[in-house]
Structure 1
Amino acid sequence: MERQLVLTTSRWRSGLRKVVEICEQQYGFMPRKSTTDAIFALRILMEKYGQRELHCVFVDLEKAYDRVPREELWYCMRKSGVAEKYVRVVQDMYERSRTVVRCAVGQTEEFKVEVGLHQGSALSPFLFAIVMDQLSEEVRQESPWTMMFADDIVICSESREQVEENLERWRFALERRGMKVSRSKTEYMCVNEREGSGTVRLQGEEVKKVQEFKYLGSTFQSNGECGKEVKKRVQAGWNGWRKVSGVLCDRKISARIKGKVYRTVVRPAMLYGLETVSLRKRQESELEVAELKMLRFSLEVTRLDRIRNEYIRGTAHVGRLGDKVREARLRWFGHVQRRESEYIGRRMLDMELPGRRQRGRPKRRYMDGINEDMKLVGASVEDAEDRDRRKNAELHPKNTTPTVKHGGGNIMLWGCFSAKGPGRLIRVKERMNGAMYREILSKNLLPSARALKMKRGWVFQHDNDPKHTARATKEWLRKKHFKVLEWPSQSPDLNPIENLWRELKIRVAQRQPQNITALEEICMEEWAKLPATDAASLLSAEDGPNRIFVFIFTGTRSASLLIGGGDHRPHLPPSLPPFGGLRPSRAEVVAHLDYTSG
């Protein structure tokens, strides 16, 4: 029954989302929004007011889910434009709801529940968002001056009087409709306070004033720094490490498995929210010191063993935490840059305050860290906006280039080329199968590589045709010690082959072949005439010279069709032995891991 309720409420939620539009200030349980959006907006707002006072009140509601009046829920749903049939469906779900209280000596008799939302329902968070949207319609301001995450509300203003007035308006709007503001959990923080700015009062009662506040799991300080947040992340990492210490400290478990457990359980707790801050080197070192302590405990290695940190990371296959922070920060910045101009993150980065800043060295800003990160990896802001394809979406129709695979009066050709020029080109007269493909490779691939004078360690690339990805073909390539770089077929990344065949098509079309024999002769002649500079110009200098592209071509009189490999540069982590298999003196060379690998 419970499983059926989950599935049913999930479908109802999908239907309600199509007809109800929730305000932009609500970040809780909304599509394309998360805690990171609200944390980022508030941090950038505090950064922009680096030399001015900013007053923030963090409002919490008392038992918010349990206090929603049912009649108020029906009213808010109808006012939001929900069809009456949906209202009746939700009413039927809550009608005659009953519960019991279970304790050590048994459970009580059933009693009716006539207020509040169903805890654990997939529909309840969205119903609560509808209620909060309607209750705050007259008092909320645009983001980031007002932000909500379910029942957690933050109100910001430039003056204490204004934020106190807004707090009172919120209290009146909520409590007149059955909700209640928690006096004990509502707190006030003044950012960059110069002189005693006083306190904020709520109905004559003084609101607790704090120097730091934990909002959505991230710690904010009144001076705009992030030192306390770094310490909290270290503490969260140790808490996660203790939960799985039985696995991490087990001698029967290999270092590789321990590294996987660490990357899955411990590291996410340490990285939470750090993509929204710009850390100093001292703070990055503080995180890395804690990480290495955890890894040394897990691998039973002490400082007295005099084993380098690089060897510790390499054995556990764990990259530097500072590099992972940088990676997360750049990923988040790219996410912000690719969003629409009305997105809160974009608006906050573009926000400019009037007036001139005061004298003295400015504080470290978020974009300072981003610029350093981009300079380190050789990227630019334009690179963040240039992302035509998402992960695991390479075969989506919009990410593929349509081609004509077969036509009347055609021939099938096999060929290869690299940045040093075209290799062999042969005609395939019979139906191509896996055995024939492997025979062609054995007779033509190595001679082509020798003729092109490929360097040692060259990479072989072909598409994902079933003949190429067959188990027998993969095993044959492995036995021949060919390094294979796979990539989806018909991808935009096949532009080198597309452009080379376009040049060949133009040359063949100009010759106007009249029959199959003439077509074959013209293809061979024009292929041999293709200058090496044309192939070299299609590939970048750092990856092209050491790669061979292989393709199968069905040529008609108009010479149309190609299938081929792609342009991709994977960076594979080195295979590292455990402590017993490598002397620590060589660890620095062998244990180097790129930060994208661990």
Structure 2
Amino acid sequence: MPEDWKKAIVIPFLKPGKPPTTPSSYRPIALTSCLAKAYESIINIRLTFTLESEHLIDAHQCGYKKGCSTTDHIVRLEQEIRQAFLHKQFCLSVFFDLEKAYDTTWRYGILRDLANLGIRGRMLNCLHDFLSNRTFQVRLGTVLSRIFVQENGVPQGCVLSTTLFIVKMNSINRAIPRTVMHSIYVDDLQIACRASSLSSCERQLQITINRLTKWADQNGFRFSAQKTTAVLFTLRGLFPEPALKLYNINMPVKQEHKFLGITFDRKLNFLAHINALKAKANRALDVLKVLSHKHWG
């Protein structure tokens, strides 16, 4: 693979509502060669065909998989909560957030996992070459920084990166017991447990959380203790707040959480999601009213 195809131009974009003086407030957008993207697309088609035809990817992973979408996981989670309500149970769910997931992905681990899945020979050599000697420059306006070497992680803005990241996430299902329901969409991980007693839910999920943190340590990942949250779904009026820990830090418990574009609230009436859609529609209508003014529209 030519060296120019391995080079990226990174342009930082300020996130909405974030202070411009903080580096973490910017989202890096990586621009790569168009020829490189075409080449990667060919390799990606062949790789995903093998992974899907041989059923090598976890069935609970719906990210960029043919015939699957975010709707699959949204419906599965809703059904799990509805079943808990039907049997007068608690349903405790944890929504994980991986810190800088793409940037911290262990490259050797990707190649090792590919080999364990049976991807070897020319394909494995091609992917090793793709991940090696990656460089990037940061551009601000017309000014370019010096060239940096990306020593770890999957390259941002590349067609193959998401597939390789999914391969690295594939072994996470071994850390989750069968008694715990889970959903994965690329790097969005959710686990849930329902039971008649809240303590039973807490016990099963805490065991799973401990196993997941161990898996993350072994694979070069780390969960965000601040952004990982829990939601207790129940129709009961009075109940104690669940107590879960991540890295020995008390996990925040919220009344609602946005998962794959849908806001799940504690009683599953979707009022928070409906209100958000209503506000968004009203803003769009306000813009249309201005554009369709009688003097110019």
Q: Does 1:175 align with 2:210?
A: no
Kindly state the Cα deviation for residue 238 of structure 1 after the two structures are TM-superposed: 3.2
TM-score after normalising by structure 2: 0.78
* 2:43 matches 1:12: yes
- How far off its partner does 1:234 sit? 1.1
Structure 1 counterpart of 2:109, one-letter code = E
Instruction: Specify the alignment match of 1:99 in structure 2.
Output: 136
**Aligned partner (choices 191, 195, 200) of residue 239 of structure 2:** 195
Partner secondary structure for residue 191 of structure 2: strand
**Cα separation, 1, equivalents of 2:183 and 2:173:** 13
Higher relative contact order (CA 8 A, sep 6+): 2
More strand by share: 2
Residue of structure 1 aligned with 2:121, choices 81, 84, 88: 84
Conserved in 2, the CA contact under 8 Å of 1:78 and 1:84? no
| Structure 2 residue 184 is the aligned partner of structure 1 residue 140 | no
The structure carrying a bigger helix percent of its residues is 1
> What SS class does the counterpart of residue 174 from structure 2 fall into?
coil
Structure 2 SS opposite 1:138: helix
Q: Distance in 2 between matches of 1:182 and 1:223?
A: 26
Q: Return the letter of the residue paired with 1:111.
A: F
Q: Which amino acid aligns with 1:156?
A: A
The alignment's TM-score, normalised by the length of structure 1, stands at 0.40
Q: Give me the whole-angstrom Cα distance separating, in 2, the residues matched to 1:94 and 1:29.
A: 20
Preserved contact between residue 230 and residue 253 of structure 2 (Cα < 8 Å): yes
Give how far 1:243 is off. 6.3
C-alpha distance in 1 between matches for 2:114 and 2:58: 14
Tell me, what secondary structure is at the counterpart of 1:160? helix
Q: CA deviation at 1:247?
A: 4.5
Residues matched between the structures, number? 252
Query: Does the residue aligned with 1:101 lie in a helix, a strand or coil?
Result: strand
The CA deviation at 1:244 is 6.1
Aligned residues with identical type, % of pairs: 21
Shift of 1:237: 2.1
2:18 matched to which residue of 1? none
Q: 1:225: which partner in 2? A: 269
Note the C-alpha offset of 1:120. Answer: 1.7
**Partner of residue 70, structure 2:** 35
**Aligned equivalents of 1:243 and 1:184: distance in 2?**
36
Closer, same or farther in 2 for the Cα pair 1:151/1:225, shift >3 Å?
Answer: same
Gaps of 5+ in 1: 254-598
* Structure 2 unaligned spans of 5+: 6-32, 195-200
1:372-521 matches, cutoff 5 A? none
**Aligned mates of 1:174, 1:17 — CA distance in 2:** 24
Per-residue CA deviations over 1:566-595 (Å, capped at 9, x if unaligned) read xxxxxxxxxxxxxxxxxxxxxxxxxxxxxx
SS at match of 2:159: coil
Q: Compute the displacement of 1:191 (Å).
A: 0.8
Contact 2:242–2:253 (CA<8 Å) still a contact in 1?
Answer: no
1:28 to 1:240, Cα distance in 2 relative to 1, 3 A: farther
Paired with 1:243 and 1:81, the residues of 2 have a C-alpha distance of: 54
Q: Structure 1 CA distance, aligned partners of 2:103 and 2:287? A: 32
Residue 32 of structure 1, CA deviation: 0.9
Structure-1 residue corresponding to 2:23: none
The equivalent position to 1:75 in structure 2, one of 112, 131, 144, is 112
Post-superposition offset of 1:55: 0.6
Of 119, 143, 157 in structure 1, the residue corresponding to residue 193 of structure 2 is 157
**Would you say the 8 A contact 1:212–1:220 is kept in 2?**
yes
